[in-house]
Structure 1
Amino acid sequence: MSDQRIGKMLQAMVGNEVVAVSPPLASVKKGAALAHVAEQFGFVYADAKLHGYRNSQLTVFLVRDPRPEAAQRAAATTGQFPQAGQGGPVPGLRQGRLTPLPEAKDAVELLTARIIFDTTGKKAEKQIWLGMVGVVVGATIAGLVRGDGSAGALYAYLSLAALICLVLGGGILFTRKRNTKAAARLRTAGLQEVRDENGRVRYLPPGQHLPGQGNPFGGQPGPYGQQAPYGRQGNPGQYPQHPQHNLPNSPYPAYQQPPGNPYPQGQPQVPGQHQHQPQQPQDPRRQYVQQQAPQVPPQYPQ
């Protein structure tokens, strides 16, 4: 199952600038492991978000690294791991599992801290507070409607709402603790604190800029709309239509992994692997038909 997820991710990375992956069971550690593999093939972690019922789904966003050294790293990784995602070895992970090897453990843990911080900030707390307000309002309405306005029924519903809010309040404290711990881990690793246009705090490696503002690395060309610097462009017609996630605070759509067989055309294409295709020669002969009026000899009077 892990090989299939990695294979789908590598297939989606061919010819796309933004890729969204969803780890199993919304596992942050498995999402960080997938992001680490993507970095070896020329992509970088951009953002993450929780969504779905009770935030039961995690989506990790990856963007293409436009720096030349990223393309070189992707080409070297492709040559060293030609069967990645097809049952063969995967860079930095145990074969067949989304578990980091000892040499990749620190890098995966750092990505884990970034994902935790990005999904446990003020926005997550706001969602919990809104949930508490909804519980109180719903309990009040239920007590008035189902209890025929009696004080006893209203008190019972509000007591239940208070108990639920107490549990949600504990969730806020737990979220703040995880967020603070992740921020300390990122600062220790040398990541820089920045704020996006909405005031959201992010931690980025030195030299990297926020995604969604064109080039996330600032000094190198390669906005999201440009053609991929390496690898053959994928054929968008070979995948069925499906919902897409957008990179948070970015107008650029992300490529979501298609369900079903990840290799509709046979073997997957790995980013960084050049594909040479024969080109059909053009016929240089161009024929133009010109119609001319018939020449009539002049006639003279006899």
Structure 2
Amino acid sequence: MGKRHVRKMLRKMESGEPVELSVSMTTMKGLTRLAFLAQQFGYEYADLNQVDNRFALRIVPDPSREGRERAARNRERYPDARNGGSLPPVAPDEAGLLKARMLFDLGRQFTDKQRFALAGIPITGMVAGIGYRFGDGTTGVVVSVGVWAALMGLAYVGLVASRRRHVRYTAQLEAAGFTPVTDQGGRLRYVPPGRQLPGHGNPFA
């Protein structure tokens, strides 16, 4: 994640209002770095979703005493951060937990059934195109059914792998003392020890 995105985020944070960043062509490492830096300057990670081919990262002001003190220290140490100056170094352990939390949230955007159905829509469309190319003959039907079954099988394998990753993220977060909570939409989330979901008891969110 380049300094341009960091500058843009820090300048938006000057409003003191919740900020949503729409980012494409990035990696989880880059998104985690953005969220980590936001937490160094008075904000906290709130949520991560994917819309089409873009990620929507939401951050909100952190009203906690610890958050305010950390922000004050970092504004003093890195006064030119918003203009492309030096930035706080990323702490690997803290960033690792933040990444696990973000990936857990991203994976909970849809249920397993919804993800399987969403995968099936483009697969079915592609297979229909293959069938059209072969015409209405038996060969076209056999090829189309075979391709559809193979691709849906791969989609199921991907779903199983996703479940295993979520088990790993859950174990990592719970071992660090993170607490499972349910948000207003019924989605399971994890919050740091002693904290609430952003927006619950937070006068700034």
- Normalising by the smaller structure, the TM-score range is 0.7 to 0.9
Percent sequence identity over aligned pairs = 30
CA 1:154–1:58: 2 relative to 1, 3 Å: same
> Structure 2 CA distance, aligned partners of 1:201 and 1:153?
44
29, 35, 59: which one pairs with 2:56? 59
Alignment pair present for 1:26 and 2:26: yes
Q: Secondary structure at the match of 1:48?
A: strand
- Residue in 1 that maps onto 2:17: 17
> Structure 1 CA distance, aligned partners of 2:174 and 2:142?
48
Instruction: Letter of the 2:18 partner, please give it.
Output: V
How many corresponding residue pairs? 205
Shift of 1:11: 0.2
CA contact (8 A) 2:49 2:109 kept: no
Question: TM-score, normalised on structure 2?
Answer: 0.86
1:66-105 equivalent positions in 2, closer than 5 A: 66-92=63-89, 100=90, 104-105=91-92
Instruction: Letter of the 2:68 partner, please give it.
Output: A
Shift of 1:41: 0.8
Gaps of 5+ in 2: none
Tell which has more relative contact order, 1 or 2 (C-alpha 8 A, sep 6+).
1
Shift of 1:168: 1.3
Gaps of 5+ in 1: 93-99, 225-302
Deviations, residues 168-221 of structure 1 (Å, cap 9, x unaligned): 12211221122111111100110001112332111111332223xxx43x2x6x
CA contact (8 A) 1:139 1:158 kept: no
Structure 1 or 2: larger helix share? 2
**Structure 1 stretches of at least 4 aligned residues deviating more than 4 Å after TM superposition:** 139-148
Shift of 1:146: 5.6
> Structure 2 CA distance, aligned partners of 1:126 and 1:29?
28
Shift of 1:70: 2.6
Question: TM-score, normalised on structure 1?
Answer: 0.60
- Residue in 1 that maps onto 2:115: 128
Q: Secondary structure at the match of 1:172?
A: helix
CA contact (8 A) 1:121 1:176 kept: no
Q: Secondary structure at the match of 2:72?
A: helix
